[in-house]
Amino acid sequence: MELYQLKTFVVVAEEGHLTRASERLHASQPTVSAHIKALEEELETRLFIRTPKGMRLTEAGERLKGKAWAVLQAAKELRLEARNMGDELVGDLSLGLNTDAEYLRIVPLLTSLGEEHSKITLQIQQRASTSIQEAIREGTLDCGFIFGPPRHPEIHAVWLETTQFYVAVPDIWKEYIPGGLKALAQLPWIMDPSDNPVQLLIDPFFSSRNVKPSTQLEVDGDEVIRVLVAAGKGVSFLRKSEVEATNRIGQEVHAIPFEGLAIDLNFVCLQRRDQDPVMQAVIDHVTKVWKL
């Protein structure tokens, strides 16, 4: 069997759909189908059941998916080990960003890494903290930034800072600020509905003060939230740097501090990857630009 067949098998299993899998693999659907058929013939085992909704793993497919992923990871690590036997580190790592690149110091990171290891390339993706952890566990992402502690023991975390969030209030509602949170709760609030760690601060924040916002608008994405706050469409939770960015694109926004709105920012990868020379180089430069 070929490694490309195993990769196709794993991607189809993850996507559950030939069209999405072919887009992700940059291959035609007939090619993807041919890879799966050839692998099934060699293994003498049916791996998928076609359904109206897509491709569903058989019981055998479920059992073999993990083994196929392990083979792909071992092959990847073998290639990296061979490439790094020389004096210069070589490698491509996918990096997940859980918020804006400026805040995460991505330009200084790329500059610092490039000056010392010009043959290490970072492929950057934008994802939520929860998605980054799951992708690292599945092997579709190498490393990334997350808010909050790792949810799984196999995730290695490097603490970068404790990030403070503020209640961001557009200037049109500044008269509500002296009344504290009870007054601000009367205003429309903009929330992120996703299962990210920052949102997990919000319920305890309100319940501990016996306050509940009167109206909530759910918006998926930090950038959209900043734009809406800048336009005076609601109150939300933003970092100080986000408030400053919001002030540059709209009316003045006030950052009101409250206790209980802080969360750790971590750089994460798989436990067994933190000793890989290429990953270690990236970790070293992440800590360097964060001045740890």
- Residue 230: which of 215, 247, 244, 218 has the closest Cα? 247
The predicted structure's pLDDT at residue 84:
61
Q: Which of 82, 109, 125 is the last residue of a domain?
A: 82
pLDDT in tens, 251-267: 899 999 999 999 999 99
Asked if the model's pLDDT at residue 85 lies above 70, the reply is no
Shared domain check, 270 and 148: yes
Shared domain check, 162 and 35: no
Asked if the model's pLDDT at residue 139 lies above 90, the reply is no
Share of the chain above pLDDT 90, in %: 63
Q: Which of 82, 110, 133 is the last residue of a domain?
A: 82
Mean residue pLDDT across the chain: 90
Strand-pairing partners, residue 125, are: 96
Shared domain check, 91 and 25: no
- Structural domain including 71 reads 3-82
Shared domain check, 105 and 51: no
The predicted structure's pLDDT at residue 197:
82
* Between 236 and 200, residue with greater pLDDT: 236
Q: What CATH number is given to the structural domain containing 67?
A: 1.10.10.10
pLDDT in tens, 207-224: 999 999 988 888 877 888
Is residue 204 exposed (0-12), middle (13-18) or buried (19+ Cβ within 10 Å)? exposed
The predicted structure's pLDDT at residue 275:
82
User: The pTM is what?
Assistant: 0.72
Shared domain check, 216 and 128: yes
* Between 109 and 73, residue with greater pLDDT: 109
Shared domain check, 159 and 90: yes
pLDDT in tens, 18-38: 989 998 888 899 999 999 999
Average pLDDT over residues 139-146: 93
Shared domain check, 109 and 37: no
Shared domain check, 37 and 179: no
Shared domain check, 180 and 122: yes
Q: What CATH number is given to the structural domain containing 241?
A: 3.40.190.290
Asked if the model's pLDDT at residue 136 lies above 90, the reply is yes
User: Can you tell me the distance from the alpha carbon of 179 to that of 181, in angstroms, rounded to the nearest whole number?
Assistant: 7
Residue with tokens 């939520």: 128
The predicted structure's pLDDT at residue 87:
62
pLDDT in tens, 173-189: 999 999 999 999 999 99
Shared domain check, 90 and 71: no
- Residue 265: which of 158, 115, 172 has the closest Cα? 158
Asked if the model's pLDDT at residue 90 lies above 70, the reply is yes
SS3 call for 166: strand
Asked if the model's pLDDT at residue 283 lies above 70, the reply is yes
Shared domain check, 105 and 64: no
User: Can you tell me the distance from the alpha carbon of 211 to that of 142, in angstroms, rounded to the nearest whole number?
Assistant: 41
Share of the chain above pLDDT 70, in %: 97
Shared domain check, 63 and 21: yes
At residue 157 the predicted structure's pLDDT band, cuts being 50, 70 and 90, is very high
Number of domains, the chain: 2
Q: Which of 82, 108, 128 is the last residue of a domain?
A: 82
Strands (E), the chain: 48-51, 54-57, 91-97, 120-126, 143-147, 155-170, 188-191, 215-218, 236-239, 253-256, 262-270
3-state helix, strand, coil in the chain (%, to 5): 50, 25, 30
